[in-house]
Amino acid sequence: MTNILDDIFAAKKVELATTRRETPLSEVKDKIGDLQDAISILDVLGSGEGTKIVAEIKRRTPFKGDLVEQFDPLSIARTYADSGASAISILTESRFFGGQLEFVEQIRKVVSVPLLRKDFIFDEYQVYESRACGADFFLLIATMLDKNQLKDLLDLGREIGLTALVETHDEKDIEKAFHAEAELLGINNRDLTTGKTDLEVSRRLLKETSNMDHLMLVCESGIHDRTQIEEFERLGMHAFLVGESLMKAPNISDKLREFTGHGKTQPAG
C-alpha cells in the first residue's frame, strides 16, 4: 500500500522524464556556467548572533490544502528578507504543493539571502537543475534515498557548489546522513507519509547528534511560537525551517520577527 510520499515521488519520476526530453542535461549545465557562485548557507547559519530562520514559501500542502488566499511568492520573499530571514526555502514541486522551479529564478533577482530549492530530489539532473535556477542549497530526503544514493547526490552538490540539506525523521535516516557526511542536517518533525507532526522527534534525534560539532542542525516543521524556538536552541538546534506558521499568519512580517526574537510574541496557532 502506497502513502502520499510514495505518490509524490512516483509523480516526480514521470515529470522528470518529460523535463529531460524538453531540456537536455547539457543545456542545464551550460546555464550554470553563467551564474555567480552560490552563497554558503553554512557560513550564513554559522555566523553572527540571534535566531536563524529559514522562512518557507509554500502555496499548499497535500495535508492542509491551500495555505494562503493571495499567493505572491515575490512579495512574500521580499517580506521575509526585510523581516530578518537568514534564508528562504522555496517549494518547487507543482502537483502537490503548487510550486514552480521558476519561483527560485524570480526570487533570486529580488533578494540576497541564500535560497533553498525544496523538492523531492532523487536524480543528478535535479541537482544540476537546482544550481541552474539560482538556488544556493537543495533538499535531500533521507527517508526516500538509500545511503549510497544520498551520498552520491550530496557529493555532486558539493562539486558544483551547492550544500545539501539532508532531511531526517528517524534514527535510520540519521545513519544515512552520517554515511553521506552531511554538514547540514535537518530533523523533520513531520512524518511525510501521514502528515502528523510531533516535536518529540527533534527532542529524541538531537541525542543522536550530540558531540558532533561539525554538524549544522535545522529543526523543521511544527514551530508555532518563540517559546518552542528557545527550547530547541537550548537543546542545540542552530536554525529553524518554518513554513505554515508564516504562510498562515495574519501578518507575516510580525510573525517572522517574533520567531527571530525581534518582535512581540503572538498567540500560537
Q: Which of 148, 232, 206 is nearest to 241 (CA)?
A: 232
Q: What stretch of H or E contains 108?
A: helix 101-108
Are the beta carbons of 140 and 153 closer than 8 angstroms?
A: yes
Residue 77 pLDDT more than 70?
yes
DSSP state of 167: E
> Is 202 part of a structural domain of the chain?
yes
Type of residue at 98: G
Residue 263's pLDDT is 67
Residue 269 pLDDT more than 50?
no
pLDDT in tens, 206-248: 999 987 878 999 999 999 999 999 999 999 999 999 999 999 9
In angstroms, the CA 7 to CA 124 distance is 20
pLDDT band at 265 (very low <50, low <70, confident <90, very high): low
Within 10 angstroms of residue 10's Cβ, the number of other Cβ atoms is: 12
Enumerate residues 6+ apart whose C-beta is below 8 A from 67: 58, 59, 60, 61, 243, 244, 247, 248
> Dmax over Cα atoms in the chain, in whole Å?
51
Extended strands (E) in 111-250: 115-118, 137-141, 163-168, 184-188, 216-220, 239-242
- Which of the following is catalytic: 86, 89, 130, 188? 188
Q: Which three cell numbers, joined as nine digits, stand for 55? A: 522562512
> Is 51 part of a structural domain of the chain?
yes
Residue 15's pLDDT is 95
> Is 267 part of a structural domain of the chain?
no
251 annotated active-site: no
pLDDT in tens, 96-117: 999 999 999 999 999 999 999 9
Residue 268's pLDDT is 46
56 annotated active-site: yes
- Which of the following is catalytic: 12, 52, 58, 176? 58
- Which of the following is catalytic: 221, 244, 245, 258? 221
- Most confident of the following: 3-12, 30-39, 122-131, 185-194: 122-131
Residue 254's pLDDT is 97
118 annotated active-site: yes
Report the CATH number at residue 26: 3.20.20.70
Answering whether pTM is above 0.85, one says yes
- Which of the following is catalytic: 12, 52, 118, 255? 118
> Is 148 part of a structural domain of the chain?
yes
- Find the domain containing 135 and state its range: 4-260
* pLDDT over 70, % of the chain: 97
In angstroms, the CA 134 to CA 115 distance is 8
Q: Which of 86, 62, 167 is nearest to 121 (CA)?
A: 167
264 annotated active-site: no
Q: What is the mean predicted confidence (pLDDT) over 84-97?
A: 96
How many domains is the chain built from?
Answer: 1
124 annotated active-site: no
220 annotated active-site: yes
**Helix (H/G/I), strand (E/B), else coil: 4:** helix
pLDDT band at 1 (very low <50, low <70, confident <90, very high): low
Give the distance from CA 227 to its chain's centroid.
Answer: 22
> Is 139 part of a structural domain of the chain?
yes
Average confidence score pLDDT of the chain: 94
* pLDDT over 90, % of the chain: 86
In angstroms, the CA 146 to CA 150 distance is 6
Q: Which three cell numbers, joined as nine digits, stand for 192? A: 511525510
> Is 158 part of a structural domain of the chain?
yes
> Is 232 part of a structural domain of the chain?
yes
> Is 268 part of a structural domain of the chain?
no
130 annotated active-site: no
Residue 212's pLDDT is 80
**Helix (H/G/I), strand (E/B), else coil: 259:** helix
Residue 267 pLDDT more than 70?
no
pLDDT band at 11 (very low <50, low <70, confident <90, very high): very high
Determine the length of the chain.
Answer: 269
- Which of the following is catalytic: 83, 89, 130, 167? 167
Q: What stretch of H or E contains 152?
A: helix 147-159
